[in-house]
Structure 1
Amino acid sequence: MSDRPSILVPVRVLEGESIPEGVPELLTNAHVVLLGYHVVPDQTATDQARDQFEDQATRRLEDFTAILEHAGASVESQLVFTHDGQTTIDRMTEEHDCLAVLIPNATRPLENVLVAIRGIVGIDRFVRLVSGLFATVDVDVTLYHVAGADEIDADVETLLEGVATRLSEEGVPPDTIDMQVSRDGSPQESIVDASDNYDTIVMGESDPSVSTFLFGMTADQVANEFLGPVLVIQHGDPDDTEETDSE
């Protein structure tokens, strides 16, 4: 089995957010970087907010850590009071070298995972994440690609078969891997349309900043319409192209 993939799980710890149902089981084989954060108004010093709310936030973070560890995940947690939640998420993702950020919506018992493959860039990170999380779990993995007008069927087949081969080499049973191709609509619309029969989506970020995905239009389009958890794989090193605390 592959090493545990590091996944950032951001939770607005003082605003009623928690670890949704099904998420601990999804992260059984992960190393979770649990970010409890609270966005402080610009006119309030972050140290002042920490002095006032740290004990309450720490207790909630400890409860969430226990839930994830009970499910099997390894967890390191950090509490941050910040003026900018988006910047904090980006910084923590980079500092902890996280493969992905989780949009932690609730999910039913995990049976089917939709893995949206865009192209050859970053395939190594997809393989590491999917094999690390699901190689020893009884789930079906569908490799899904939205083909562009200039992509021929043979090239798409080569792309997806290459990913499937690498996943099987990393321990994902070949008979649990399926492949689907769409040529209709935008990638985001196609992913949402295809997601009805799936419990989790794995996809790459569509912008160099993960915060754009988490707080922008793409999140509304995918995570809100899908309503389940979305694992957003980070770009990583821009040269990596694979071939088949208070603030």
Structure 2
Amino acid sequence: MQERPTILIPIRVLERESIPEGVPALLTNAHVVLLGYHVVPDQTATGQAQAQFTDQATRRLDDLTAILAHAGATVDSQLVFTHDAQTTIDRVTTEHDCLAVLIPNATRPIEHVLVAVRGVVGIDRFVRLVSGLFGPKDINVTLFHVAEADETDADVETLLNGIKARLSEQGVSEAVVDIEISRGDAHQELIVDAADNYDAIIMGESDPSVTTFLFGMTADQVAKQFLGPVFVVQHEQTDVREAAEAK
């Protein structure tokens, strides 16, 4: 049986954020860490906000948990009152070893997924996420790479065909996996343009970092233009350390 990939969904639980249409079905094969959080003003103690809003927030979080569980996902929910949303999201992502953070825009039934691959870092996590979420469903997957000036088409084909072979080893039919190569300096725009005919995007963090890029960073910008769900694959801590040591 395919391992369920662990996906973090951060929800501003007291601002009436919800699980958009189509997202529960997208996560049927996932283990979801549902983070309900509320940002408390700096001048207010988090304990004071907890005392005032915990019951309301818990009811809302329980409702959202039930929606995901009904669709087939396994769910761990966590409620946090915080002064710093990004730090909280990063911490929970690390604590639960989440493969990806989901920016949960609404979607139609999933038929085609675009996987934006930047390089060799984190490929194992891409393979685990794609095979775990979509392998059992035979969803069409396109492995997409924006080639750098010093990369030949043959180099990129070797990279993408290697990922395709690894997906096949994990039970994803080669018949549903395509590869696509693009060239240009505006990576973000090229991903968005390529995604026009897709129902969801999987992409990695721009650099080895524990940030989830949800607040004004690359993946969030892509999600605002694409309007569908975007999975942001997280770097492993070993990748982060190695990148830091190389600087």
Tell me which interval the TM-score lies in, with the shorter structure as reference length.
over 0.9
**1:238 shift after superposition:** 2.9
What one-letter code is carried by the residue in structure 2 that aligns with 1:12?
Answer: R
Gapped runs of 5+ residues in structure 1?
Answer: 241-247
- 8 Å contact 1:189–1:221 — kept in the other structure? no
Query: Shift of residue 2 of structure 1?
Result: 2.5
User: 1 CA distance for matches of 2:221 and 2:85?
Assistant: 20
Counterpart-to-counterpart distance in 2, 1:224 and 1:152: 31
Q: Per-residue displacement from partner, 1:192-219 (whole Å, max 9, x unpaired)?
A: 1111001100000113445461002414
Distance in 1 separating the partners of 2:184 and 2:136: 33
- Offset of 1:237 from its aligned partner? 3.0
**Is this contact kept in 2: 1:90–1:209, CA < 8 A?**
no
Matched letter for residue 86 of structure 2: Q
Change (3 A) 1:110 1:116: same
1:181 aligned residue: 181
Corresponding residue for residue 12 of structure 1: 12
Distance (whole Å) between structure 2 residues aligned to residue 20 and residue 211 of structure 1 = 23
Report if aligned partners of 2:6, 2:98 keep a CA contact under 8 Å in 1.
yes
CA contact (8 A) 1:122 1:235 kept: yes
Instruction: Say if 2:127 and 2:163, in contact at 8 Å, map to a contact too.
Output: yes
- 1:146 matched to 2:131? The reply is no
Deviations 1:169-198 (A, max 9, x none): 101111100110001232211101111001
Runs of 4+ in structure 1 displaced over 2 angstroms?
207-212, 237-240
Equivalents in 1 of 2:17, 2:172: separation in Å? 33
Which residue does the alignment assign to 2:244? none
Q: RCO greater where, 1 or 2, for CA within 8 Å and sep 6 or more?
A: 1
Q: Return 5+ residue gaps in structure 2 as ranges.
A: 241-247
CA distance in 2, matches of 1:238, 1:211: 15
Indicate conservation of the 8 Å contact 2:153/2:181, yes or no.
no
Contact 1:116 1:201 in 2 (8 A): yes
Q: Distance in 2 between matches of 1:131 and 1:233?
A: 14
1:119 aligns to what SS in structure 2? coil
Q: What code does the residue aligned with 2:192 have?
A: V
Cα–Cα, structure 1 residues 127 and 220, in superposed 2: closer, same or farther, change >3 Å?
closer
Q: What pairs with 1:156-171 in structure 2 (closer than 5 Å)? A: 156-171=156-171
When normalised by structure 2's length, the TM-score is 0.94
Matched residue, 1:70: 70
Contact 2:184/2:190 (8 A) holds in 1: yes
C-alpha distance in structure 1 between counterparts of 2:21 and 2:198, whole Å? 16
- Give me the whole-angstrom Cα distance separating, in 2, the residues matched to 1:123 and 1:211: 18
Q: Residue 116 of structure 1 contacts residue 144 of structure 1 at CA under 8 Å; is this kept in 2?
A: yes
Quick check: 1:146–1:183 contact (8 Å CA) kept in 2? yes
The answer to whether residue 49 in structure 2 is matched with residue 35 in structure 1 is: no
Contact (CA 8 Å) 1:2, 1:128: kept in 2 or not? no
Corresponding residue pairs, total: 240
- Structure 2 counterpart of 1:163, one-letter code: I
Mapped to 2, the partners of 1:103 and 1:212 lie a distance apart of 10
Return the TM-score normalized by structure 1.
Answer: 0.94
1:125 alignment counterpart: 125
Aligned to 2:214: 214
Q: CA deviation at 1:139?
A: 1.4
- State the distance in 2 between where 1:60 and 1:109 align: 25
Equivalent position SS for 1:75? strand
